[in-house]
Chains A and B, each alone.
Chain A
Amino acid sequence: MAHEHDHNHGHDHDHGPKFRHPPQPDEDETLGYYQLMEVAVRELLIEKGLISADDLRRTIEKIDSRSPALGARMVAHAWVDPAYKKRLLADGSAAAQELGIDASDVKLIVVENTPRVHNVIVCTLCSCYPRPILGLPPDWYKARSYRSRVVREPRAVLREFGTGLADDVEVRVHDSTADMRYLVLPERPPGTEGWDEARLAELVTRDSMIGVTKVSSPAA
């Protein structure tokens, strides 16, 4: 999915007015009001010693280190290891930690898709999302249309993502209104028998872990 190749240049605008950086991509445009505010607030906080440029750098690196590949590893591992799957469904955060994925600051609940139940996740009130496992949410997840409609007409929204579900399947929408964060464990597709975990993980998309799509069978 949308993988970001942002290379944070490792320094912030905290050198004062005399030092001029080589132009960075976001400096070419006129600064909007809130972009101006971001620079100003950041500089004030650094001047006051409340945060440092290093802290910000470290935090951006942490943000960049998280991507759907982490969730895909958990899913693939659950597909090949039934005992891990059981632990994953009992306590998502602990299961993430087992694979060296730091989910200590979220209460992760993993919900399993089966032939009878299809889960899909939303935060109608804001944009709660399992960021430690999937990275930053896509724009559509945070926008009006998805947040308004998926609780009310999930099947129609899923069709827009190319996902059709039979009437005998229960569509279960999870609205993350509180401290829990949800991840869908998609069904393992047919045609993957004997595959190793790394190969399986490559099939697992971000959208399948949100629940708007299933994991497709590999092309014949």
Chain B
Amino acid sequence: MRGPHDMGGLPAGPVDRTEHKHDFWEKRVDALARLLTERKLRTTDESRRAIESLAPDAYDRMSYYERWMAAITTILLERGVITSDELGRKMEEVRTRKAAP
């Protein structure tokens, strides 16, 4: 079965040439990926595999950098660099902080 990423030759509509300026957070994701590779905490191959393992509709539901962020996190969890527990707590802390007046 072809993976959701393996799309060469499939039918598709016209190319949408609209371009968007990269948001700050997207550049930070890109930078994080590169830095983690430099630190040998991640490889491109692992991250690609993690993206390919996302739910089949991830390609349509998630943006490019959302998929990359999901993949980076998956690899860090697999390698034990971070744990789900501490990530969950930190995400809640950040959410609360961002919502504070």
Given contacts A17-B97, A34-B66, A56-B35, contact A4 B19 (CB under 8 A): no
Residue B12 interfacial (CB < 8 Å):
yes
Give Cα distance in the complex from A35 to B28, angstroms: 10
Give the shortest distance, in Å, between A129 (CB) and chain B (any CB): 12
Residue A151 interfacial (CB < 8 Å):
yes
Q: Do B90 and A43 touch across chains, with their CB atoms under 8 A apart? A: yes
Which residues of chain B come closer than 8 Å to A144, judged between CB atoms?
7, 12, 59
Q: Do B7 and A6 touch across chains, with their CB atoms under 8 A apart? A: no
Q: Do B30 and A37 touch across chains, with their CB atoms under 8 A apart? A: no
> Which of chain B's residues has its CB closest to A127's CB?
B64
Give the shortest distance, in Å, between B31 (CB) and chain A (any CB): 4
Residue A41 interfacial (CB < 8 Å):
yes
Q: Do A41 and B12 touch across chains, with their CB atoms under 8 A apart? A: no
Given contacts A125-B5, A142-B64, contact A42 B28 (CB under 8 A): yes
Which residues of chain B come closer than 8 Å to A2, judged between CB atoms?
19, 21
Q: Which of A44-52, A77-85, A163-171 contacts B (4 or more CB under 8 A)?
A: A44-52
Give Cα distance in the complex from A126 to B70, angstroms: 15
Give Cα distance in the complex from A25 to B23, angstroms: 9
Looking at chain A's contact residues, is the secondary structure mostly helix, strand, loop, or mixed? helix
Q: Do A41 and B27 touch across chains, with their CB atoms under 8 A apart? A: no
Residue A39 interfacial (CB < 8 Å):
yes
Residues of A within 8 A of B (CB): 1-2, 4, 6, 8, 17, 24-27, 31-32, 34-45, 48, 50-51, 55-56, 59-60, 62-64, 122, 124-127, 136, 138-140, 142-149, 151-152, 157, 160-161, 175
15 new A-B contacts, CB < 8 A, other than A25-B23, A42-B28, A139-B64, are A6-B21, A40-B93, A41-B69, A41-B82, A42-B32, A56-B28, A63-B27, A64-B27, A124-B9, A127-B64, A142-B64, A145-B15, A147-B7, A149-B12, A151-B8
A-B contact pairs, 14 of them (CB 8 A): A1-B19, A25-B24, A26-B24, A37-B69, A38-B32, A43-B90, A45-B81, A63-B31, A142-B64, A143-B16, A144-B59, A160-B17, A161-B17, A175-B8
